[in-house]
């Protein structure tokens, strides 16, 4: 986005401000489509940036939904059930029943455990509807199930008359910087699918694969690291998928790879000073509103820019430390920013379209904010705050 457009937004809406470029994310989706030549489907992980959910529902095949808050965003946005891919490590029965009422046999569902499969199967039997289920293969974390467990469930599929095992879901982590990692994972999946064929007489129809293509956020990274999302690397990835012995539908699940470049965080320089030779610029906002993956107390410089204020003021070219407005020494956004800055200038942080905009982890995944209760032997329980649903904070309806 041009700096003039960013300035226009800041002047109109004030700062601090998150600004997301819809044209940018549409372009990013098209780049993937062009690279994959119609051979690989696209899923958007809405946890990356829920404000882009409505737009991305128009651009990709599916929206991955990982919590009740995220589901309620999709429901309130009236996103069709056939677009929803219901995932998430923990599915509580009551929540799952609410989701099933909307998704019915049109949405797709992961099974993270035998218990989740049992709950899904019970609903399907009671309603005599066939659900499309994707058992999730673990990456040796709390997510999903191991090979033996999935194999056992699929071998026992006759006991799930209203369950269609529509594919396997696999996600092993984010910010993968080498295609070798994908090559190793695809080989492992190939071998597992062959095992399912031999031991359970089951042909896996589809692979839902969370690729985790890395994004470089900082200036030094930009010079050193390859971008796996460039056409050459995407072509290599497409060929890796093509070369699998298993032949079926492949859909890749991404968030950061689409959204990172489409966002910026705009602040205003409201105080400048020098402490013992250190140039300090204080901006509105702070680390509670800006978080880069891998950022350590401002040690790395993100891609940034300064937009001069309209009003004339004294500006200085210095190596600035950019701090936010919080009363903590940790509120350091950038330790070394060699630019000319004056009071009222806009300081812009780029590549904030994915994750970095969450105002602290409390709003991540649009989960509820906990109730707050006080207690004393004399006073008993005092309700200071009710549980608050946060999903309405993370939704753009337009």
Nearest CA to 230 out of 52, 28, 25, 20 is that of 28
For residue 38, the model assigns a pLDDT of 93
Q: Are strands 84-86 and 108-111 parallel, antiparallel or unpaired?
A: parallel
For residue 223, the model assigns a pLDDT of 57
Contacts of 219 (CB under 8 A, 6+ apart): 300, 301, 302, 303
The answer to whether residues 137 and 169 touch, using CB atoms and an 8 Å cutoff, is: yes
For residue 297, the model assigns a pLDDT of 66
For residue 240, the model assigns a pLDDT of 95
For residue 247, the model assigns a pLDDT of 95
For residue 363, the model assigns a pLDDT of 85
Q: Are strands 380-385 and 346-350 parallel, antiparallel or unpaired?
A: unpaired
Structural domains in the chain? 22-260 (3.20.20.10), 361-390 (no CATH)
For residue 59, the model assigns a pLDDT of 95
For residue 368, the model assigns a pLDDT of 87
Give the residue carrying structure tokens 């401000």: 17
Q: How far apart are CA 221 and CA 300, in angstroms?
A: 9
Ranges of residues in the chain whose predicted pLDDT is under 50: none
Q: Are strands 131-137 and 168-171 parallel, antiparallel or unpaired?
A: parallel
Q: How far apart are CA 209 and CA 190, in angstroms?
A: 12
Please report the DSSP string for 78-92 in residue order.
T--GGGEEE--S---
Q: How far apart are CA 9 and CA 266, in angstroms?
A: 9
Q: What is the pTM of this model?
A: 0.91
Strand partners, 322: 281, 334
Tokens of 7: 């300035």
For residue 241, the model assigns a pLDDT of 96
pLDDT tens digits for 193-206? 999 999 999 999 99
């Amino acid at each position: 986005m041009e700096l003039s457009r960013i300035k226009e937004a800041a002047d109109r809406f004030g700062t601090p401000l998150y600004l997301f470029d819809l044209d940018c994310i549409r372009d990013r989706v098209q780049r993937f489509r062009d690279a994959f030549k119609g051979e690989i489907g696209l899923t958007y992980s809405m946890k990356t940036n829920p404000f882009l959910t409505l737009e991305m529902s128009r651009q990709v095949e599916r929206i991955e939904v990982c919590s009740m808050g995220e589901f309620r965003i999709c429901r309130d946005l009236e996103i069709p059930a056939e677009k929803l891919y219901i995932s998430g490590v923990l599915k509580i029965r009551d929540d799952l029943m609410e989701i099933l009422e909307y998704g019915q046999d049109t949405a797709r569902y992961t099974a993270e455990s035998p218990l989740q499969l049992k709950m899904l199967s019970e609903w399907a039997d009671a309603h005599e509807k066939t659900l499309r289920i994707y058992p999730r293969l673990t990456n040796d974390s709390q997510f999903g199930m191991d090979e033996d467990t999935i194999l056992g469930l699929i071998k026992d599929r006759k006991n799930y008359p209203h369950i269609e095992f529509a594919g396997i879901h696999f996600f092993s982590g984010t910010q993968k910087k080498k295609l070798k990692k994908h090559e190793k994972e695809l080989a492992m999946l190939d071998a597992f699918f062959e095992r399912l064929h031999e031991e359970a007489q089951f042909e896996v129809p589809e692979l839902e694969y969370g690729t985790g293509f890395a994004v470089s956020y900082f200036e030094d990274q930009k010079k050193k690291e390859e971008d796996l999302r460039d056409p050459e690397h995407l072509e290599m990835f497409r060929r890796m998928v093509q070369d699998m012995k298993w032949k079926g539908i492949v859909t890749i699940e991404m968030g950061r790879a689409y959204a990172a470049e489409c966002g910026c965080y705009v602040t205003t320089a409201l105080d400048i000073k020098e402490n013992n030779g250190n140039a300090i610029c204080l901006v509105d906002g702070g680390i509670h509103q800006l978080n880069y993956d891998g950022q350590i107390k401002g040690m790395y410089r993100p891609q940034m820019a300064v937009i001069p204020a309209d009003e004339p003021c004294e500006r200085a070219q210095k190596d600035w430390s950019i701090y936010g407005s919080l009363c903590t020494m940790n509120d350091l956004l950038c330790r070394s920013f060699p630019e000319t800055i004056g009071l009222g200038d806009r300081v812009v942080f780029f590549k904030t379209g994915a994750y970095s905009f969450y105002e602290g982890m409390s709003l991540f995944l649009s989960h509820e904010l906990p109730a707050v209760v006080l207690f004393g032997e004399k006073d008993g329980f005092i309700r200071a705050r009710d549980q608050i649903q946060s999903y309405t904070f993370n939704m753009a309806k337009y």
